[in-house]
């Protein structure tokens, strides 16, 4: 891709930001990013490359937070091997530092802050599809390296939770971005779902008032398939195999009004602005994205599953960067005879979702941004 950096206001104007702060439309669908705006005293660097965290201090000389690798491996080993029984977690909840939790993304109240680097995500039960996916992933040498550490399933007060590595733990006022992967973002089962939904019609006309047909306007409802295809077409999902769902810059409010970020220029500029011309961050994230691609290609889990609706979650602060694949509620095991490459175009029955096609496109944009920032 040959895109040049043009500093357009696009999704970054104050007006947009103001609108976004008052905009509740997106909140239901966005559960992933929990940002703790706290007033902690400065923490030690706690990083671990194998968990997707890349400390700047490894490549940046003279970082004031330099710590021996041994020390941060030891810290992480302690945190992630911490027993995660319901009782302990409830006790830990009491010691959560006071601060403001912002749920930037997602189905509300499905995720709860834990402590010691753990978050809990509510699921339907022990056989929830996401729990099944995490169990499979954690047995896969490659897939397990690109997702949050899975600590198990726990029950508390009648609810069941996944216990996962808190990807923001230890970061200070981080920049975060959630990129939903894939050209197809719905399960094939939606094709047969004829249920008409007024909420999706409302979301549709909020973005494009003239999009519904006369019939749909009359019914004031659309099917989920109709809405999801529209959503993919209005954003970059259809063309690039990914879309930027939400982001937050250091010291700023979250931006979730990104449903029409679609063109090469808009996508490029949004990511470039997110990276703030930080060469080191861009370079390390590019390496991590390539690593993620390589692990997906080698993983047996990915060969045997369609991965629908997952996101790449990117985070960086002054000290470190990290990127992981998250959200496996719509990952499904493929029948034995079905083979997918995660890049081909979807046709009903072939189960292709285009996640690797999206990673290819994303890497290409990061390469362009990296080249641009090196040349200026």
Which residues of this chain interact with ligand I3P, rule CB under 6 A?
A: 26, 29, 185, 203, 224, 228, 231, 309
Comparison of 149 and 180: residue with beta carbon closer to ligand I3P: 180
CA 188 to chain CA centroid, Å, is 22
**Minimum distance, C-beta of residue 203 to ligand I3P, in the bound complex (Å):** 5
d(CA 280, CA 365): 16
- In the structure encoding, which two tokens stand for residue 199, read together? 């909420």
Phi/psi of residue 112, nearest 5 degrees: -125, 135
The kind and range of the H/E element at 305 are strand 305-308
| Contacts of 342 by beta carbon, 8 Å cutoff, 6+ apart | 296, 302, 307, 352, 353, 354, 355, 356, 357
The kind and range of the H/E element at 268 are helix 264-275
Contact 281, 316 (CB under 8 A): yes
Comparison of 142 and 227: residue with beta carbon closer to ligand I3P: 227
Phi/psi of residue 111, nearest 5 degrees: -130, 140
Q: Across-strand partners of 177?
A: 247, 314
H runs (alpha helix) in 181-246: 198-207, 214-219, 224-234, 237-240
Residue of minimal Cβ distance to ligand I3P: 29
Comparison of 149 and 248: residue with beta carbon closer to ligand I3P: 248
- In the structure encoding, which two tokens stand for residue 220, read together? 């004031």
**Minimum distance, C-beta of residue 72 to ligand I3P, in the bound complex (Å):** 35
Length of the chain (residues): 376
Phi/psi of residue 99, nearest 5 degrees: 180, 180
Comparison of 37 and 189: residue with beta carbon closer to ligand I3P: 189
Comparison of 114 and 309: residue with beta carbon closer to ligand I3P: 309
If we measure between CA atoms, which residue out of 39, 38, 20 comes closest to residue 30? 20
Comparison of 190 and 368: residue with beta carbon closer to ligand I3P: 190
**Minimum distance, C-beta of residue 101 to ligand I3P, in the bound complex (Å):** 21
* CB burial string 333-372: b at 16+ within 10 A, e below: eeeeeeebebbeebeeeebbbbbbbbbbbbbebbebbbeb
Radius of gyration for the alpha carbons in the chain, expressed in angstroms and rounded: 20
């Amino acid at each position: 891709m040959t895109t040049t950096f043009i500093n357009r206001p696009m999704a970054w104007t104050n007006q947009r930001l103001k609108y976004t702060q008052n905009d509740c439309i997106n909140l239901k669908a966005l559960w992933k990013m929990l940002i703790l705006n706290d007033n902690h005293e400065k923490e030690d660097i706690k990083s671990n490359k194998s968990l997707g965290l890349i400390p700047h201090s490894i490549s940046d000389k003279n970082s004031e937070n330099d710590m021996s690798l041994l020390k941060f491996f030891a810290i992480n080993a302690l945190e992630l091997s911490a027993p995660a029984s319901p009782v302990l977690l409830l006790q830990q909840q009491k010691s959560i530092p006071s601060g403001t939790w912002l749920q930037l993304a997602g189905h509300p109240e499905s995720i709860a802050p834990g402590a010691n680097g753990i978050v809990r995500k509510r699921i339907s039960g022990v056989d929830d599809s996401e729990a099944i996916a995490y169990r499979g992933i954690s047995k896969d040498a490659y897939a397990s390296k690109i997702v949050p550490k899975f600590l198990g399933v726990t029950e508390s007060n009648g609810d069941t939770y996944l216990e996962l590595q808190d990807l923001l733990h230890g970061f200070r006022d981080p920049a975060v971005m959630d990129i939903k992967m894939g050209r197809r973002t719905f399960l094939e089962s939606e094709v047969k779902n004829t249920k008409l939904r007024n909420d999706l019609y409302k979301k549709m006309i909020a973005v494009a008032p003239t999009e519904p047909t006369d019939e749909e306007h009359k019914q004031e409802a659309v099917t989920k398939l109709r809405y999801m295809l529209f959503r993919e077409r209005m954003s970059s999902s259809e063309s690039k195999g990914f879309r930027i769902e939400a982001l937050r810059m250091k010291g700023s409010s979250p931006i979730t009004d990104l449903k029409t970020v679609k063109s090469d220029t808009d996508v490029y500029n949004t990511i470039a602005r997110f990276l703030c011309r930080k060469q080191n961050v861009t370079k390390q994230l590019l390496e991590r994205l390539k690593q993620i691609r390589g692990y997906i290609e080698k993983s047996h889990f990915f060969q045997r599953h369609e991965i629908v609706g997952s996101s790449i979650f990117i985070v960086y602060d002054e000290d470190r960067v990290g990127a992981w694949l998250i959200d496996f509620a719509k990952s499904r095991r493929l029948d034995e005879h079905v083979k997918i490459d995660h890049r081909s175009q979807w046709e009903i029955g072939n189960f292709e979702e285009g996640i690797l096609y999206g990673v290819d496109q994303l890497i290409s944009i990061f390469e362009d941004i990296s080249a641009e920032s090196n040349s200026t």
